[in-house]
């Protein structure tokens, strides 16, 4: 009884505090041009009720988290049921095969509009997987990732307009350009601590937009570049619907390629170096890993994918302008990685679908999209830092006195 009363009092105080906190911004709305004030008192009730119940939930979740941590410290397995299922390799492969089959028949079943949305989602899947190399595997927080995406898109738009180069020719060039800029930008800053990297990349993202808006001769400024060629297929004439389907299949192929490459990389020598570097830099350097080179490779590789997808994006929309490459896009890509699970390929794919398709189909919710993404990033970090699906990591265990060394995969649980 006492505890219930105490909790009640606490929640009441919290709700009063939040009523005070949100009062000027949520209740009052002034229009300083027409000199009118609107008092929206009904909002205050929502804030009060919401914060009252959320504070209960918050306390419960924190207690649960701490309980789990204690259990984890004692070495008891804390994997969820989904995690266990995913570790079954046979099952996982079967699920992937089914997903691929579904992806292949998708444009045959649904119309062009749905296919178009799906292409956007797939673009973000690849962007998420690309960023995942930097953020998830190597622990390099990149807040200007969209700049590489934009570089690829502008690369195709400019080359296509000025030199009449085709999609397939520019696709690798876009990737290379992204990669090149990744190296140029990454070289001086990657020796530094992680937080500096975050802010420099943030600045780079901003810089890209400023330059594209002002360098009229190259990028035709804020009005952007229109009439970019769609990808060609041996000079065949295609209708809009056919072309969308074609781009869709290109995207599916690229997603599959990205998954294969990142998956192979993750368990390679350099991939293990990335993960080790993320966990402990000093120990890594002491073990003889070249820190600068390893970080640079992760960063540049991420930039490579972004550049390639940028080319596809430009070919898909046939129109680009600097407004498509703002910090908001970078934030969306980052929340895809964080929500899905840093370092986890399946997680990132799931994250991209949730974050791109949900606002697309729930229009009412679209307005609150960024608000929810921001809150989700904070909540994920506090309550589930490994994301929806945590990354699997190869662990080699010695099984008793048997002569062979068994391979078992375990989640990364810091």
Candidate residues 172, 222, 374, 406; the one interacting with another protein per rule CB under 8 A: 374
Contacts (CB under 8 A) with another protein, residues 100-139:
135, 139
By the rule CB under 8 A, 378 interacts with another protein:
yes
Using CB under 8 A, pick the residue from 12, 21, 226, 253 that binds another protein. 21
Q: CB-hemisphere CA count at 13 Å for 204?
A: 25
What's the Rg (C-alpha) of the chain?
Answer: 24
Q: Is residue 210 within the footprint of another protein (CB under 8 A)?
A: yes
Contact between 368 and another protein by CB under 8 A: the answer reads yes
Number of Cβ within 10 Å of residue 326's Cβ equals 15
| Shortest distance in whole angstroms from residue 363 CB to another protein | 16
Give the binding-site size for another protein (rule: CB under 8 A): 62
Q: Using the minimum distance from each CB to another protein, give the nearer residue, 190 or 255.
A: 190
Which of 206, 238, 291, 357 is the binder for another protein (CB under 8 A)?
206
Is residue 189 a contact residue for another protein (CB under 8 A)?
yes
Out of 176, 183, 261, 331, point to the residue binding another protein (CB under 8 A). 331
Q: Please, which residue, 170 or 388, has the CB nearer to another protein?
A: 388
Report the C-alpha gap between 148 and 155 in whole angstroms.
10
Looking at residues 305 to 324 of the shown chain, list those that interact with another protein (rule: CB under 8 A). none
Nearer to another protein among residue 357 and residue 372 (C-beta)? 372
Parallel, antiparallel, or unpaired: how do β-strands 392-398 and 405-411 relate? antiparallel
- Contacts of 103-107 with C-beta under 8 Å, sequence gap 24+, read 103/252, 103/255, 104/252, 106/248, 107/244, 107/245, 107/248, 107/249
Distance, CA of 236 to CA of 251 (rounded, Å): 19
Question: CA distances (Å), 359 to each of 158, 244, 277, 337, in order?
Answer: 32, 21, 36, 17
Report the C-alpha gap between 184 and 402 in whole angstroms.
51
Binding of another protein by 44 (CB under 8 A): no
Q: Which of 85, 366, 382, 407 binds another protein (CB under 8 A)?
A: 382
Answer yes or no whether residue 184 interacts with another protein by CB under 8 A. Answer: no
Contacts by 69-73, CB closer than 8 A, 24 or more apart: 72/413
Q: Is 375 in the site for another protein (CB under 8 A)?
A: yes
H helices, E strands: number in the chain:
17, 4
Q: Is 20 in the site for another protein (CB under 8 A)?
A: yes
Three-class DSSP category at 299: helix
Instruction: Please give the Cα distance from 183 to 400 (Å, whole number).
Output: 46
196 binds another protein (CB under 8 A): yes
Query: Does 62 sit near another protein (CB under 8 A)?
Result: yes
- Please, which residue, 48 or 261, has the CB nearer to another protein? 48
Any idea of the CA torsion for 80, 124, 263, 156, to the nearest 10 degrees? Answer: 180
335 binds another protein (CB under 8 A): yes
Binding residues (CB under 8 A) for another protein: these are 17, 20-22, 24-26, 28-33, 35-37, 43, 62, 135, 139, 141, 143, 188-189, 192, 194-196, 198-200, 202-204, 206-207, 210-211, 214, 278, 282-283, 286, 327, 331, 334-335, 338, 367-368, 370-371, 373-378, 381-382, 385, 414
């Amino acid at each position: 009884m006492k505890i219930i009363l105490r909790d009640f009092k606490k929640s009441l105080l919290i709700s009063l505090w939040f009523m005070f906190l949100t009062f000027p911004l949520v209740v009052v709305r002034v229009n300083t041009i027409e000199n009118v004030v609107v008092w929206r008192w009904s909002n205050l009730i929502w804030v009060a009720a919401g914060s009252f119940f959320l504070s209960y939930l918050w306390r419960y979740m924190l207690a649960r988290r701490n309980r789990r941590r204690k259990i984890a410290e004692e070495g008891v397995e804390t994997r969820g049921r989904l995690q266990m299922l995913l570790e079954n390799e046979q099952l996982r492969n079967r699920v992937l095969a089914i997903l691929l089959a579904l992806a292949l028949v998708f444009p045959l079943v649904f119309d062009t509009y749905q296919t178009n949305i799906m292409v956007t989602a797939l673009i973000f899947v690849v962007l998420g997987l690309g960023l995942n190399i930097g953020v998830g595997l190597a622990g390099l927080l990149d807040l200007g990732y969209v700049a590489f995406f934009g570089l690829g898109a502008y690369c195709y738009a400019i080359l296509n307009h000025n030199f009449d180069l085709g999609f397939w020719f520019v696709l690798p060039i876009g990737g290379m350009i992204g990669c090149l800029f990744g190296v140029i930008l990454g070289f001086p800053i990657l020796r530094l601590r992680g937080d500096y990297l975050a802010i420099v990349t943030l600045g780079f993202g901003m810089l890209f937009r400023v330059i594209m808006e002002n360098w009229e001769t190259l990028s035709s400024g804020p009005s952007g570049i229109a009439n970019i060629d769609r990808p060609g297929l041996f000079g065949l004439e295609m209708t809009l619907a056919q072309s969308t389907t074609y781009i869709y299949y290109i995207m599916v192929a690229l997603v599959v390629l990205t998954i294969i490459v990142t998956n192979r990389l993750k368990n390679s020598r350099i991939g293990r170096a990335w993960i080790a570097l993320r966990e402990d830099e000093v120990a890594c350097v002491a073990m003889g890993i070249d820190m600068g080179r390893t970080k640079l490779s992760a960063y540049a590789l991420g930039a490579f994918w972004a550049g390639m997808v940028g080319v596809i994006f430009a070919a898909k929309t046939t129109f680009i302008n600097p407004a498509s490459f703002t910090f908001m896009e970078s934030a969306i890509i980052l929340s895809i990685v964080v929500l899905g699970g840093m370092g986890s390929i399946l997680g990132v794919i799931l994250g991209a679908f949730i974050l791109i398709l949900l606002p697309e189909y729930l229009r009412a919710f679209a307005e609150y999209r960024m608000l929810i993404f921001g809150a989700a990033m904070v909540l994920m970090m506090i309550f589930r830092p490994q994301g929806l699906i945590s990354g699997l990591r190869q662990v080699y265990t010695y099984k008793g006195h048997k002569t062979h060394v068994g391979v078992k995969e375990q989640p990364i649980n810091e």
